[in-house]
Structure 1
Amino acid sequence: MTSDPNRIRRLLTMLPAAALLGACGKGSGQQADVSVAGSVSAPVLASASVPDLSKVKLVLGDQVKLLRTKAEAAGVLEGIPYQIEWASFQGAAPLFEAVVSGDVDTAMAADTPALAAAAGGARVKVVAASVSSPTGVAILVPPDSPIRTVADLKGRNVIVSSARGSVAHYLLFGALREAGLKTDDVNTGFLLPSDAAVAFSSGKIEAWATFGSYQASAEIRGARVLRDGVGINSGIGVIAASDAALADVGKRAALADVLRRLALSNTWANAHPKEYGDVFQRLTGLPADVAKLAISRDRPQLRAVDAEIVRQLQLVADTFFEAKLFPKRVDASQLVDASLFQPA
């Protein structure tokens, strides 16, 4: 896709109308007549059907400011008619807790924590997806560790970030199974990434399953990758929204608009890694080499939730359920709302 900034600006000018039509038209019984040239002609929507976005505030859940840095670097949120508040978390587990409590409207996460939240009863829907490199999740060991293979983890202590059902937990489960081991062949503990990072760097952790900038930081300091996610993890990331937010007409319209803007920010960031990296480093405070490594593995394009995404989500959900790591089976087809987002 082109990285022409003029094209992005042109697309941005079209977003509010497109988002309102897509979000408000669902189930309203109203028809939109769109001309060939792309301008909207009457009848469009009854005025009562179009919410006043100036009164809407979205609280967008983020992890390590990944969404926010792209959006701010690309400038895609300039001139929005609604309010945005960012809420950044260390991991997906506390992020989904905030969604469940109603403090946050959306969650950006990998596939497994979104599925884990749904299995735990969270009332959320996956509204958009992306695919990144599975190298962005790994099982790490200290550089001088005698552990050379996953099979060597038998009887060892392994820390997983950040909770049961995380993308790192799925990697550990898959890697153990691949090596012919059972989950109870290792002693598994769970820690938030920042706490685990301190323990790992001080030599208190034999092996650590982690992801993203935490993984990159440890690798820069010499940690050895025992097994990354290639061949195990799907690399699917999702943006999920609470059922409550989706049921609110104003928030639904604003979310439809912001998703299209975030899609443009991904396109821009992938085409401008240096500029994006500078903003990412400034907002996160990470060292330059850590920031560069982390974002080199995070080059997704936001995409609609299609049948292939649903199939892969179902595969992950069934794997965890059959392993008794989920309390109930998740029907991925019922977890998605594919009506809200279609890429420009």
Structure 2
Amino acid sequence: MHSFSRRGVLGAGLASAMLSACGGKTPDEVVIFGDQANLTRAKVEAAGLLKDRPYAFKWASFAGAAPLFEAVMAGAVDTAPAGDTPVLAAAAAGVPIKLVAASQSSGKGVALLVQPDSPIKTLHDLKGRTIIVSSARGSVSHYLLLGALKEAGLKLSDVTVGFLLPGEAQSAFDAKRIEVWATFGLYQALAEYRGARVLRDGVGINTGLGFVTASERALASPAKRAAIADALGQFKAANAWANSHKDQYAEVFAKVTGAPLGAAKLLVERENPILTPVTPAATVKLQTVADTFFQAGLLPKAVNAAALVDTSLFPA
């Protein structure tokens, strides 16, 4: 399970970046929007949104969901976008969050990758291999691995599994010290751009569900609650803009993240969700994932997905 600790948050190197004064406001008055690999921020800035809002805000970007939810636990960020499985892992570990919006993607943005010249051609060839999962137990990549092994008729005991944060795993994969890597998003796109081969993507295994979560601490503040509700509308507009201006979004994303334009275009082509309220159908899918992970021993306790949902900030 994730180790949610203040040391992990500070280790992410974000304390000074996001808790500095903003327009004379104290940290408690500034809304901190958590992000992964600057994905949300790039869309917002490309679309020219979140300008002249009646509240102060800052961005805090993390390499993956595990350190992002550590920051939520520490009270260092107010919102956190993440896939279905890390949301469940965080909730099961006691991170005080609510699901305030949802999105749906195809599942292509998560994959098992191998080296271009790897002898591993099918999922059956995974037997006896070592597989590195990013970023932690309970990630969307971990869920893909479990589903892929089941699809191939293999057991978890047939492989050796290790866990690394995406940046560390990327360096090791580039140096060919990793033969199979379960990863996602920008890290997947970068590896493919450099020649990695997709052994199995998440289509048909992963739900493709993503969520915007908000900390219960932030939601208890009327000012921050109102700001987050407003921001969700801005995020929705940013997603819509990005979907209809993919080339422009890719250019901004490459600039914000430092990623090669080719990798950014690959990611943008896959990452095209529309932000919606958390529907009953999405909640049912999330509950299925929760039950699967709990039965596999990857959650310390059962999670009631419906109890995590707060539809009041972003109603239908």
Would the aligned equivalents of 1:56 and 1:254 in 2 still touch at CA under 8 Å?
A: no
What whole-Å deviation, never above 9, does each CA across 1:82-123 have from its counterpart, x for those lacking one? 011100001000000000010011101111100110011111
| 2:131 matched residue in structure 1 | 158
Give the CA RMSD over aligned residues. 1.0
Query: Which stretches of structure 1, 4 residues or longer, exceed 3 Å deviation after superposition?
Result: none
In structure 1, the residue matched to 2:229 is 256
For 2:207 and 2:110, locate their aligned partners in 1 and report how far apart those are by CA, in whole Å: 11
- Indicate the structure (1 or 2) with the bigger Cα radius of gyration: 1
1:309 corresponds in structure 2 to: 282
* Aligned position for 1:47: none
For residue 31 of structure 2, give the secondary structure of its aligned residue in structure 1: strand
The superposition leaves residues 317-337 of structure 1 with CA deviations (integer Å, 9 ceiling, x where unpaired) of 000001111111100000111
Q: Which residue of 1 aligns with 2:23?
A: none
The correspondence of residues 84-103 of structure 1 with structure 2, limited to 5 A, is 84-103=57-76
2:79 to 106, 113, 116: 106
Query: Structure 2 stretches of 5 or more lacking a match?
Result: 1-27
The reply on whether 1:239 has 2:212 as its aligned counterpart is yes
Residue of structure 2 in register with 1:25 after alignment: none
Structure 1 residues not aligned, in runs of 5+:
1-54
* Structure-2 residue corresponding to 1:3: none
Taking the aligned partners of 1:146 and 1:281, their CA distance within structure 2 comes to 32
- Does 2:293 align with 1:290? no
Partner in structure 1 of residue 141 of structure 2: 168
Between the aligned residues of both structures, percent identity stands at 60
Residues 315-326 of structure 1 aligned to structure 2 (within 5 Å): 315-326=288-299
1:19 counterpart residue number:
none
- Secondary structure of 1:299's counterpart equals coil
Contact 1:60 1:104 in 2 (8 A): yes
TM (norm. structure 2) is 0.90
2:37 is aligned with 1:64: yes
What is the rounded CA distance, in whole Å, between the counterparts of 1:73 and 1:296 in structure 2?
16
1:57-102: CA deviation from partner (whole Å, max 9, x where unpaired): 2101100111101111111211101011100001000000000010
Measured against aligned partners, the alpha-carbon deviations of 1:242-300 in whole angstroms (never above 9, x if no partner) come to: 11111111110110001011101111111111111111111111101001001111001
CA distance in 2 between counterparts of 1:296 and 1:135 reads: 10
C-alpha contact (below 8 Å) 1:129/1:305 kept by paired residues:
yes
Helix, strand or coil: the match of 1:318?
helix
Structure 2 residue 46 is the aligned partner of structure 1 residue 80: no
The aligned amino acid for 1:280 is: F
1:56 Cα shift? 3.6
Q: Is the 8 A contact 1:161 1:190 kept in 2?
A: yes
Is residue 2:305 matched to residue 1:329? no
Which residue of the partner structure matches residue 270 of structure 1?
243
Question: What is the count of residue pairs matched by the alignment?
Answer: 289
